[in-house]
Structure 1
């Protein structure tokens, strides 16, 4: 469940009074996601998403995220920009948290993507990258390769309580990946978390790209590798239909063809993506109280992906 901060009807009505969106009709907490508190808000003027930013999203980063979404929306990408109030402010405060009222996008996220859906998602990701070629703001990747050794050290020997030998396995994989990490590839702002639940669809059409709160400046092909690691496998980390992964890459290249160095780097970028998610999931697994209203995600599902990419170095050939 992703409602960490309760918002009373009275506080929400007062919040909405700052906007030209009508009066509050109803509000319901949204269970999906683990980073922020989200509410589906209906007013007499339409439907919106209210997001309250919790501890993992720094208030100082919000202007970057808002500018990124505005930039993408202005270029026709299906993203949900924040709605300004009557004074032009997008970032507010509600219940002691930074908060934004966000455009509602129609569609549903798919659990088992088809090749056609994966192809559409790949094309949407490439179009996002093309649109960001002239986006000048930058934000470092706080969960990039420089952070992985520190996160591994913070998890420490407790990793072996998740699975025997996990610490040594991740340590070996990390050393190999960092030793082969590519340099000189094209960089831009990237989404960095484009899982199927962050893509809204109607049939085979992408209607929304959401949840940009890991967005940062990094290697563009790394974003494709992150997305491949999320779409080409089942939730337990076992491979899905191989056609799904191929379609994702084909969709991407239909809009933005990969260079030879980018294609050659995809296997190590994908293993790096898997290490990132294995480590952050492991940290959450070890540090989330048993009675918390958050479903912990299995880090071993990403360890299995690391092993798969290592055993299939020609997966992107």
Structure 2
């Protein structure tokens, strides 16, 4: 979440007139993440999240994102729901941007995740994978392996601002992943961005998943690989196998991984680390000064990428059995 587009109180009040949510009491920007402009709203009807979809989000994808939240909620997944306008539409427009009102989900994301957080997150993502079956809309993963080299090429001219040696190292990872990326693993709807700040807990129990704006159709095990990257490394860059063991056990308690998924997990995890390194690198270099956004350090994912390149089997991640 972030704020790229500012809004005035008059603009917001006029926008809210098309919703049955009461009158505006207060609002503030949410300065986390890198994709859209987000605001916390307090109205006489309750608390809501207002999202303005910025230029990096294709408006044609919005029915998928909003429809997916409805589909998952109907099947028991705890997640926010889009609020319909008075005319029944889920999308409006504010400050020249497509905009949606989303229900507020109680909870907090864990600043210092423990193994039990990892277990519950793995379980929640597996439940989401199963609940996503039958969703009528599809969306290809625009940030999968075929997008990584073009993304690198947009940043390579300035990568010396971070580390000049990367101009030789990153193409080697790209070559390996493009050659060895799996082609026939089980697929479905994945979250693709279930980082700690997108998984909420309340009173020591799982509360829900938020931020489905990277959701897409891809290998289900790729979502697991993203979780390993997001949840199982410590601040010093070391991999915590206890957390990995808990996360994988939680996932497999709902949806056991196939033999082919287990075999592919080191490659998928390496690819996930490269994907987040490249998008963080691009944002680090290209985000304009003064934007109300938290830029995330790409070096964190460079270290993870190097770790995964040394992993031989999924057992090194803590997979049991």
Fold shared per TM-score above 0.5: yes
Contact 2:126 2:252 (C-alpha < 8 Å) held by counterparts: yes
**2:85 alignment counterpart:** 85
Residue 84 of structure 1 deviates from its aligned partner by 0.4
Provide the aligned length of Structure 1 versus Structure 2: 316
Q: Does 1:64 align with 2:81?
A: no
1: distance between equivalents of 2:106 and 2:172? 43
Query: Residue 235 and residue 31 in structure 1: after superposition, are their counterparts in 2 closer, same or farther (change >3 A)?
Result: farther
**2:256 alignment counterpart:** 257
2: distance between equivalents of 1:145 and 1:287? 21
2: distance between equivalents of 1:5 and 1:149? 30
| TM-score of the superposed pair, with normalisation by structure 2 | 0.94
Contact 2:49 2:102 (C-alpha < 8 Å) held by counterparts: yes
Query: Residue 150 and residue 43 in structure 1: after superposition, are their counterparts in 2 closer, same or farther (change >3 A)?
Result: same
Q: Does 1:306 align with 2:284?
A: no
Alignment of 1:77-226 (within 5 A): 77-226=77-226
Query: Residue 260 and residue 204 in structure 1: after superposition, are their counterparts in 2 closer, same or farther (change >3 A)?
Result: farther
**2:21 alignment counterpart:** 21
What whole-Å deviation, never above 9, does each CA across 1:250-293 have from its counterpart, x for those lacking one? 11001101011111111000000011011111111221234433
Equivalent position SS for 1:297: coil
Residue 191 of structure 1 deviates from its aligned partner by 0.8
**1:276 alignment counterpart:** 275
**1:55 alignment counterpart:** 55
Query: Residue 243 and residue 176 in structure 1: after superposition, are their counterparts in 2 closer, same or farther (change >3 A)?
Result: same
Equivalent position SS for 1:99: strand
Contact 2:188 2:219 (C-alpha < 8 Å) held by counterparts: yes
Query: Residue 294 and residue 46 in structure 1: after superposition, are their counterparts in 2 closer, same or farther (change >3 A)?
Result: closer
Equivalent position SS for 1:42: strand
Residue 29 of structure 1 deviates from its aligned partner by 1.2
1: distance between equivalents of 2:262 and 2:116? 22
Residue 15 of structure 1 deviates from its aligned partner by 1.5
2: distance between equivalents of 1:295 and 1:32? 5
What whole-Å deviation, never above 9, does each CA across 1:88-127 have from its counterpart, x for those lacking one? 1100001111000100000011122100011001000000
Q: Higher mean Cα deviation, 181-190 or 7-16? A: 7-16
Contact 1:120 1:204 (C-alpha < 8 Å) held by counterparts: no
**2:286 alignment counterpart:** 287
Contact 1:116 1:204 (C-alpha < 8 Å) held by counterparts: no
Residue 311 of structure 1 deviates from its aligned partner by 2.0
2: distance between equivalents of 1:62 and 1:234? 34
2: distance between equivalents of 1:117 and 1:83? 29
Residue 55 of structure 1 deviates from its aligned partner by 1.4
2: distance between equivalents of 1:32 and 1:299? 16
Q: What is the RMSD of the two structures over their aligned residues, measured on CA atoms?
A: 1.5
Contact 1:83 1:102 (C-alpha < 8 Å) held by counterparts: yes
Residue 158 of structure 1 deviates from its aligned partner by 2.4
Residue 174 of structure 1 deviates from its aligned partner by 1.6
Contact 1:155 1:282 (C-alpha < 8 Å) held by counterparts: yes
